[in-house]
């Protein structure tokens, strides 16, 4: 823990534990209070306050004699439960021009590849990519930079059968959508969700921001032209260096007019 940060110690611990929870590191249960006290070098009251906040947000369940377990819920549902939502009637806009903007951004920025590994797909990745438990995927973590500094931290998951043609060197040189096309994949559409997250210790270090800073959280599923999922992406962006712009048009009768997107552009600096 860093006493110079503008966040109390319990909240720093809360952010780290929430991030690890979302990554699936606590599927078998959270460490006990004594283990967490030793890990973070803090008093028990600090650990208990961090766990209490997670319990109040329905992220974990604490039971005497049985330990602390994560509550199995969808990641997006956890986020909205903890941070508020717009209700069941909210609409998901289809982002036209998305793929073109992503490639353009990839060509105008530099990237540092943090890690590339091939492993069995975790359960949530199996569901996203519609693959089996014995199927392997390439997991890559990268930090993308502009001239001003770090822009985003990106984690991508691609089926091994597709990713065999590129590795760490290629990912450092070209946008992954270009690599997919070169591998023979015809990229089709994408589904994307944008929300917000707070920077934990790791993200703060990668993106050069204080712990607890607000970040744009992007989750994107890309399909090929046969509508088969080919890539799952989780990204965190600095909002001071990246933004989306959409042009909306109204359609329908006067009592049933709705907004539809006409164009999307992505800006970064």
Over residues 95-105, the pLDDT tens digits come to: 334 444 554 55
Residue 80: predicted pLDDT: 39
Where residue 124 falls among pLDDT bands split at 50, 70, 90? very high
Residue 98: predicted pLDDT: 47
Where residue 64 falls among pLDDT bands split at 50, 70, 90? confident
Tell me the pLDDT of the chain averaged across its residues.
Answer: 79
210 vs 75, more confident: 210
Where residue 77 falls among pLDDT bands split at 50, 70, 90? very low
Residue 81: predicted pLDDT: 40
Q: What residue segments make up the domains of the chain, in order of their start?
A: 9-83, 98-268
SS (H, E, C) the chain: CCCCCCCCHHHHHHHHHHHHHHCCCCCCCCCCHHHHHHHHCCCHHHHHHHHHHHHHCCCEEEECCCEEEECCCCHHHHHHHHHCCCCCCCCCCCCCCHHHHHHHHHHHCEEEEEEEEEEECCHHHHHHHCCCCCCEEEEEEEEEEECCEEEEEEEEEEEHHHHCCCCHHHHHHCCHHHHHHHCCCCEEEEEEEEEEEECCHHHHHHHCCCCCCEEEEEEEEEEECCCCEEEEEEEEECCCCEEEEEEEEEECCCCCCEEEEEEEEEEEC
Where residue 146 falls among pLDDT bands split at 50, 70, 90? confident
Topology of domain 9-83, per CATH? Arc Repressor Mutant, subunit A (1.10.10)
The answer on pLDDT for 89 being more than 50 is no
Overall average pLDDT of the 175-186 stretch = 85
Topology of domain 98-268, per CATH? Chorismate lyase (3.40.1410)
The reply to whether 98-268 shares the fold of 9-83 is: no
Where residue 70 falls among pLDDT bands split at 50, 70, 90? confident
């Amino acid at each position: 823990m860093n006493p110079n940060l503008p966040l109390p110690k319990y909240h720093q611990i809360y952010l780290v534990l929430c991030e690890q929870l979302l990554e699936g590191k606590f599927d078998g249960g959270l460490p006990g209070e004594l283990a967490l006290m030793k890990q973070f070098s803090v008093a028990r009251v600090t650990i208990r306050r961090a766990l209490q906040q997670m319990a109040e947000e329905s992220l974990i369940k604490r039971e005497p004699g049985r330990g602390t377990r994560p509550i199995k819920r969808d990641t997006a549902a956890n986020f909205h439960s903890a941070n508020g939502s717009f209700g069941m009637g909210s609409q998901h806009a289809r982002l036209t021009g998305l793929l073109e903007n992503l490639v353009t951004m990839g060509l105008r920025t530099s990237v540092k590849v943090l890690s590339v590994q091939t492993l069995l797909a975790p359960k949530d990745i199996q569901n996203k990519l519609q693959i089996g438990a014995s199927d392997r995927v390439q997991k890559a973590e990268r930090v993308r930079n502009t001239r001003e500094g770090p822009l985003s931290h990106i984690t991508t998951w691609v089926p091994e059968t597709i990713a065999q043609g590129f590795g760490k060197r290629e990912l450092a040189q070209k946008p992954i959508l270009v690599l997919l096309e070169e591998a023979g994949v015809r990229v089709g559409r994408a589904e994307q969700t944008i929300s917000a997250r707070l920077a934990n210790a790791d993200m703060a270090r990668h993106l050069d921001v204080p712990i607890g800073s607000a970040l744009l959280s992007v989750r994107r599923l890309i399909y090929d032209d046969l509508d088969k999922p080919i890539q799952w992406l989780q990204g965190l962006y600095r909002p001071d260096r990246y933004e989306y712009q959409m042009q909306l048009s109204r359609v329908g009768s006067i009592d049933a007019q709705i907004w539809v997107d006409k164009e999307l552009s992505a800006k970064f600096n």
